[in-house]
């Protein structure tokens, strides 16, 4: 109802604005502010049990799968464990290689997605214990998993997931740190800055709205990025597709030239994420390739002189993120991409909260 939406026109925007609080609640009691250590004993997972696993298998659908792709990067980087991420419906009917030494991590906002539940049952049948990362307490996934790490996003009403995604990504940061055999106090403490940094990122709204209006008439968009930025690009493209019905695809920036560059023609817009300093020069190179074919580049990069200077040369428009610790930037970058999809959809007169053909929770396989 209108009252529940408060001053917002749609639940989606209300939920975008609830992200600082959702993330704060997801971090609460799980990170020691002084030591920077992560404690998942609330999920029933002792450090020894966690560190007994040799591999991680992530299963999820849709936006939760995109969170899983971020999680893979984090777990591989911090815990140095091999991680496989599968769409639940593919895992289920593949020939999954999981066993007792594999921790299966199932991510789901609703905890009721049929494909994800089927994947969980298959993993458990093969002897792999399951950690559920789930938003709805008391859901089927929460009941069937061996351990549950709750995302504390609160009820998410809009079909396009925003705050649930961000809290899933945060939960995966916590898991990656908890799985790490070495202490990573700086990363732990860094996470505690997130709520305030997301707050700052929300201030990008007028800028994103202006850009979305310019893009709303397009029929295809590309999103590119490397590493964590690639995973975030995939979520940005999905958000745009599902609510504005503008076709969008995400590519690993380095892969563009292996085929998709053929689709770049004058006026074609590419949203390029360049949040990571070590990868920036390479991504800027890809932006230059796009521009050389007449494409239009919207760059997402931190508001820092060095980053801006390098990126601006190859960008037609800039979405400048708050200057935050680099590890937080891919998380923050999701926020303007949510808003970009939102305003493009509103501009096109779409039913943002209830896009055609989609359901909040898909309980059939």
Give the interface with ligand G6P as residue ranges (CB under 6 A). 61-64, 108-110, 113, 116, 159, 161, 358-362
Give the tokens for residue 157. Answer: 């009403």
* Cβ at position 361, least distance to ligand G6P in Å: 5
* Cβ at position 196, least distance to ligand G6P in Å: 26
* Cβ at position 46, least distance to ligand G6P in Å: 27
How far apart (Å, rounded) are the C-alpha atoms in residues 36 and 30?
10
293 near 265, Cβ under 8 Å?
A: yes
Of 341, 265, 337, the residue nearest 296 (C-alpha): 265
Place of tokens 């995966």: 172
177 near 170, Cβ under 8 Å?
A: no
Q: Which is nearer to ligand G6P, 193 or 363 (CB)?
A: 363
How far apart (Å, rounded) are the C-alpha atoms in residues 298 and 311?
10
Q: Which is nearer to ligand G6P, 70 or 253 (CB)?
A: 70
Annotated active-site residue in 5, 257, 291, 360: 360
360 is catalytic: yes
- Identify the three-state secondary structure at position 127: coil
35's torsion region: left (phi>0), alpha (psi -120 to 50) or beta? alpha
* Cβ at position 93, least distance to ligand G6P in Å: 18
Q: In the bound complex, which residue of the shown chain has the CB atom lying closest to ligand G6P? A: 62
How far apart (Å, rounded) are the C-alpha atoms in residues 43 and 99?
21
Contacts of 327 (CB under 8 A, 6+ apart): 187, 190
Q: Which is nearer to ligand G6P, 243 or 328 (CB)?
A: 243
Q: Which is nearer to ligand G6P, 107 or 319 (CB)?
A: 107
* Cβ at position 193, least distance to ligand G6P in Å: 26
Query: Quick one: how far is CA 190 from the chain centroid?
Result: 18
Q: Which is nearer to ligand G6P, 113 or 301 (CB)?
A: 113
Active site amino acids = 360
């Amino acid at each position: 109802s209108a009252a529940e939406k408060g001053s917002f026109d749609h639940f989606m925007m209300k939920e975008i604005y609830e992200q600082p609080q959702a993330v704060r609640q997801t971090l609460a009691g799980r990170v020691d502010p002084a030591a920077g250590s992560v404690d998942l004993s609330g999920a029933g997972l002792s450090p020894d049990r966690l560190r007994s696993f040799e591999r991680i298998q992530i299963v999820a659908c849709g936006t939760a799968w995109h969170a899983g792709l971020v999680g893979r990067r984090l777990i591989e980087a911090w815990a140095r464990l091999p991680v496989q991420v599968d769409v639940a419906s593919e895992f289920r009917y593949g020939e999954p290689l999981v066993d007792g030494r594999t921790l299966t991590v199932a991510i789901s906002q609703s905890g009721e997605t049929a494909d994800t539940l089927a994947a969980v049952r298959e993993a458990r049948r093969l002897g792999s214990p399951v950690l559920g990362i789930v938003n709805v307490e008391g859901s089927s996934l929460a009941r069937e998993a061996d351990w549950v790490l709750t995302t504390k996003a609160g009820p998410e009403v809009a079909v396009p997931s925003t705050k649930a995604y961000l809290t899933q990504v945060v939960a995966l940061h916590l898991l990656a740190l908890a799985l790490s055999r070495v202490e990573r106090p700086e990363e732990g403490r860094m996470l505690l800055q997130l709520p305030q940094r997301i707050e700052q990122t929300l201030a990008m709204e007028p800028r994103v709205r202006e850009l979305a209006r310019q893009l709303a008439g397009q029929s295809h968009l590309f999103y590119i990025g490397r590493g964590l930025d690639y995973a975030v690009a995939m979520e940005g493209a999905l958000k745009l597709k599902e609510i504005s019905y503008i076709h969008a695809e995400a590519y690993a920036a380095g892969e563009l030239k292996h085929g998709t560059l053929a689709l770049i023609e004058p006026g074609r817009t590419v949203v390029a994420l360049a949040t990571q300093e070590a990868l920036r020069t390479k991504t800027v190179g890809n932006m230059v390739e796009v521009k050389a074919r007449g494409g239009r580049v919207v760059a997402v990069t931190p508001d820092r002189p060095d980053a801006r200077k390098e990126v601006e040369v190859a960008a037609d428009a800039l979405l400048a993120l708050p200057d935050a610790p680099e590890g937080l930037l891919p998380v923050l970058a999701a926020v303007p991409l949510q808003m970009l999809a939102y305003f493009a959809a509103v501009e096109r007169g779409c039913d943002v909260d209830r896009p055609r053909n989609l359901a909040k929770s898909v309980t059939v396989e």
